[in-house]
């Protein structure tokens, strides 16, 4: 076995042998596949991929290298990276280093030169599962003995599963920060609205999309309380994308219910969509292999337009797809809800809209930096919701308003 050998071991015992790519060593996580042909740097730096080994289905990866402008966060978050044919050298004038160098610098273990088509088909048939990548010294024990397949499989079997994992606090910002509005050449312009964004694994492009529309965004950690949110007198609250099982996010769901009770306009994406679903009383469930890529067709039922969208989710909301339903939580406290968007490949719920509250969400990424940008309009919807309705019923006292109550003395901020 050469020094460049790497082995990928799946939880069900299937193995692939290839070449080491990035850092040498070992890593374990849930193995998932991404169907995007571009945007690998945004994928690598998306906190939603925390604890996941990502397989790129496009065969040729790394041709544009890595630059300092495109990261969605301050580090690479994927647990491991799997590619078939890494580029020999970058071909972009913006590149400052190779993909291999970037992975190694962030100690991300990868593997290349394997049949990613066969691996993807396997995951589609069997579902995502735990896996491990092993290279270098990780292929031998302390005495220098080459480890056998069962040894590596035992390591994979000891890794935590994604179901039940509460991961937002492992990726959230440590300190609050503010992104000022940016309209035209000027910055720091008077804001058209103020948003509190709860960072569950937020990507840097999200507050930038709001800044482009004149919105000031205060980004708070996932541990933020209702008091923290109200202290900033927001015109709207935003819940970001993020990793983990939404069923484990008890604190975040309670925070969101306090936002809904006060009728503060709300917008959530990806993980935020799942948390809105749970706050309303609907269930969530784990998809067999999830949606990950930049080419997912979604129907916007309000306009009947089909959007090509960017996705990264392994869980989905379990809500009635047809017609209106009453939110199950607390005997219908939050009123009527419709599924606003639906995936055209498999009919998965891709968006929720509250009819009696100023709240909506989508399961995909309208802010996707590498594209597509079909869903940019959702940020305009959020701004419209904050500036034209839903604010007058806000309450900041101890007795929250419900979807069926009228509040006439809610103070302005």
Q: Catalytic residue numbers?
A: 270, 365, 367
What CA–CA distances, in Å, run from 211 to 66, 183, 217?
Answer: 25, 7, 7
List, as one string, the DSSP characters of 68-122.
SSS-SSSS--BSEEE-SEE-SS---TT-SB-HHHHHHHTT-EEEESS-HHHHHHH
- Extract the tokens encoding 49: 């991929």
Alpha helices in 134-216, H assignment, sequence order: 149-157, 168-171, 205-211
Residues facing residue 237 across a β-bridge: 196, 266
Q: Is 356 exposed, middle or buried (0-12, 13-18, 19+ CB in 10 A)?
A: middle
242 is in an annotated binding site: yes
CA–CA gap between residue 61 and residue 40 (Å, rounded): 8
- Extract the tokens encoding 298: 């979604």
Q: Is 180 exposed, middle or buried (0-12, 13-18, 19+ CB in 10 A)?
A: middle
Residues facing residue 5 across a β-bridge: 19
312 is in an annotated binding site: yes
CA atoms within 13 A on the CB side of 1: 19
DSSP, res 396: -
Residues 6+ apart with CB under 8 A from 352: 273, 276, 277, 280, 317, 319, 337, 338, 339, 340, 360, 361
Q: Per this entry, what is the length of the chain? A: 413
CA–CA gap between residue 300 and residue 71 (Å, rounded): 29
Cα 176–Cα 232–Cα 199 angle in degrees, nearest 5: 35
Q: How many CB atoms lie within 10 A of CB 404?
A: 10
- Extract the tokens encoding 181: 């509005």
345 is in an annotated binding site: no
Alpha helices in 185-231, H assignment, sequence order: 205-211, 226-230
In 139-235, DSSP assigns E strands to 177-179, 182-183, 186-187, 193-199, 215-221
315 is in an annotated binding site: yes
Q: Binding site membership: which residues?
A: 48, 242, 244, 274, 312, 314-315
Annotated binding site for L-glutamine: 48, 242, 244, 274, 312, 314-315
């Amino acid at each position: 076995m050469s020094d460049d050998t790497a082995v990928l071991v799946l939880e069900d015992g299937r193995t692939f042998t290839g070449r080491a790519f990035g850092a040498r060593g070992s890593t374990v996580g849930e193995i998932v596949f991404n169907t995007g042909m571009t945007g690998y740097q945004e994928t690598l730096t998306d906190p939603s991929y925390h604890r996941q080994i990502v397989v790129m289905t496009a065969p040729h990866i790394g041709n544009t290298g890595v630059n300092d402008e495109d990261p969605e966060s301050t580090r690479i978050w994927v647990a491991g990276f799997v590619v078939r044919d890494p580029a020999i050298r970058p071909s972009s004038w913006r590149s400052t280093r190779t993909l291999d160098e970037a992975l190694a610098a962030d100690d991300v273990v990868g593997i290349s030169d394997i049949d990613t088509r066969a691996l993807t088909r396997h995951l589609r048939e069997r579902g995502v599962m735990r896996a491990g990548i092993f290279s270098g010294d990780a292929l031998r024990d302390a005495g220098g003995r080459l480890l056998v397949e069962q040894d590596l499989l035992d390591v994979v079997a000891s890794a935590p599963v994604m179901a039940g994992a509460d991961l937002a606090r492992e990726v959230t910002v440590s300190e609050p920060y503010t992104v000022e509005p940016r309209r035209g050449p000027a910055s720091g312009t008077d804001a058209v609205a103020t948003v509190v964004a709860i960072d569950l694994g937020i990507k840097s492009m999200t507050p930038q999309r709001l800044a482009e529309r004149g919105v000031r965004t205060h980004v708070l950690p996932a541990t933020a309380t209702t008091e923290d949110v109200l202290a900033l007198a927001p015109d709207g609250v935003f819940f970001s994308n993020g990793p983990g099982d939404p069923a484990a996010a008890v604190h975040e769901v309670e925070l969101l219910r306090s936002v809904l009770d006060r009728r503060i306009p709300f917008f959530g994406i990806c993980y935020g969509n799942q948390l809105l679903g749970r706050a309303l009383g609907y269930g969530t469930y784990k998809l067999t292999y999830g949606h990950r890529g930049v080419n997912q067709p979604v129907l916007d039922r309000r306009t009947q337009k089909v959007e090509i969208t960017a996705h990264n989710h392994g869980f989905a909301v379990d809500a009635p797809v047809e017609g209106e339903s009453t939110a199950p939580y607390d005997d219908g406290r939050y009123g009527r809800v419709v599924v606003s968007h639906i995936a055209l490949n498999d009919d998965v719920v891709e968006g929720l809209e509250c009819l009696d509250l100023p709240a909506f969400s989508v399961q995909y990424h309208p802010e996707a930096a590498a594209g597509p940008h079909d869903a940019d309009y959702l940020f305009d919807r959020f701004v419209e919701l904050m500036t034209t309705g839903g604010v007058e019923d806000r309450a900041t006292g101890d007795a929250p308003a419900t979807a069926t109550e009228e509040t006439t003395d809610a103070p302005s901020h």
